[in-house]
């Protein structure tokens, strides 16, 4: 008898929390909270499919980001709520 391993034992990203939003160019961005997994996607459906696959199909662990969300693989994703100028940095938040 061949038993399948439980979903929690499958190999997925170590981070289960994923941020999904649009960057300044209109592309959909996915970034996990530890900045180990992510990418740019052509549409929302593809971005959500990727996030669900990476987090073990846990929709409650996906956060939709309002405003502009730029992918940063160096560990500091930026979320802005509107067009940012050098004089206006109060609207920038660091994600996770």
Tokens representing 76? 């500091």
Q: Can you give the pLDDT at residue 80? A: 56
Residues of the chain with pLDDT under 50: 1-3, 5-13, 83-96
Q: Can you give the pLDDT at residue 9? A: 40
Q: Can you give the pLDDT at residue 67? A: 95
Contacts of 24 (CB under 8 A, 6+ apart): 68, 70
* Start-to-end C-alpha separation, the chain: 43
Apex 83 CA angle, 78 and 89, nearest 5: 60
Whole-prediction pTM:
0.66
């Amino acid at each position: 008898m061949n038993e399948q391993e439980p979903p929690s034992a499958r190999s997925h990203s170590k981070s289960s929390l994923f941020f999904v939003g649009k960057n300044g160019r209109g592309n959909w961005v996915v970034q996990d909270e530890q900045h180990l997994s992510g990418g740019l996607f052509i549409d929302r459906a593809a971005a959500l499919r990727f996030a669900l696959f990476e987090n073990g199909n846990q929709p409650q662990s996906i956060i939709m980001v309002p405003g502009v969300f730029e992918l940063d693989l160096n560990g500091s994703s930026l979320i802005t709520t509107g067009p940012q100028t050098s004089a206006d940095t109060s609207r920038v938040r660091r994600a996770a």
